[in-house]
């Protein structure tokens, strides 16, 4: 479940926090993408020690993740907790990841959920997605599919492809809502257009069986092909079936719920 440092930086740069980053921070992030972690720390530590929350969070993630340095989870916790105590949502997200993955000692889903909740309330889509999955699976919180759908919806509205896909599954399977293939199509398509392979595969099934859309083998093949190019085994199988014409529109497709984990 851990987020890579590069993935963290991508999320960071796409967020509003990046607008306030100074030149040293951008230089540090360029150093990180070049795997020059020691240089990044040299650039960031002065600001981190001065109380800069951007810098503290980046330093914490470097200590947690970087393979070019000996990982130092104790220092990672120190810097992330410092930023979290000042209400910095990206620090909350990354603390949640540490507790979820057992990098803060023992694996602690309850503390992970608490930190994900703080970041989710602050509007971080990645935390909303992770919190939703914990509610769906009952990890660290009481299982609550209504809450799961609520947080998936918030993340999906922010453009998170995984959340859009999972929300589509909810509409396709009637999870905390009536089955609505048109809504499922809407969310699958949004995720599919971002390159989400499972969404592409599910969108292909909607077109093949004519669920919520006009039936179209051509469109089904188009989306299955895109998904198969990414190694999606179900899409590969569906293309093979389509080519052999062994399945007919009246046949039942496999349930969508199996995708949700």
Stretches in the chain below the pLDDT threshold 70: 1-22, 67-70, 245-261
pLDDT in the model for residue 15: 55
pLDDT in the model for residue 18: 53
3-state secondary structure of 188: helix
pLDDT in the model for residue 250: 40
Which long-range contacts link 66-74 to residues 24+ away (Cβ below 8 Å)?
A: 66/5, 66/32, 66/37, 68/35, 68/36, 68/37, 68/38, 69/37, 69/38, 69/41, 73/98, 73/103, 73/104
Give this prediction's pTM: 0.86
pLDDT in the model for residue 91: 95
């Amino acid at each position: 479940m851990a987020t890579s440092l590069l993935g963290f930086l991508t999320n960071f740069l796409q967020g509003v926090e990046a607008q306030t980053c100074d030149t040293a921070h951008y230089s540090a992030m360029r150093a990180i993408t070049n795997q020059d972690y020691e240089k990044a720390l040299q650039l960031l530590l002065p600001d981190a020690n001065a109380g800069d929350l951007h810098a503290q969070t980046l330093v914490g993630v470097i200590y947690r993740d970087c393979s070019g340095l000996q990982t130092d989870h104790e220092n990672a916790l120190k810097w992330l907790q410092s930023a979290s105590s000042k209400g910095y949502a990206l620090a909350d997200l990354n603390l949640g990841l540490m507790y979820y993955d057992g990098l803060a000692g023992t694996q602690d889903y309850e503390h992970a959920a608490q930190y994900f909740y703080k970041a989710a309330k602050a509007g971080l889509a990645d935390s909303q997605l992770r919190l939703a999955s914990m509610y769906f699976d009952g990890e660290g919180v009481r299982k609550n599919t209504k809450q799961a759908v609520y947080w998936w919806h918030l993340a999906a509205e922010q453009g998170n492809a995984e959340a859009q896909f999972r929300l589509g599954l909810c509409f396709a399977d009637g999870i905390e809502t009536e089955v609505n293939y048109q809504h499922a199509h809407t969310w699958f398509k949004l995720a599919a257009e971002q390159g989400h392979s499972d969404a592409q595969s599910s969108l292909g099934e909607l077109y093949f069986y004519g669920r919520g859309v006009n039936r179209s083998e051509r469109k089904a093949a188009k989306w299955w092909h895109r998904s198969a190019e990414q190694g999606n085994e179900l899409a590969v199988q569906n293309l093979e079936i389509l080519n052999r014409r062994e399945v007919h529109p009246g046949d039942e497709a496999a349930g969508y719920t199996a995708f949700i984990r």
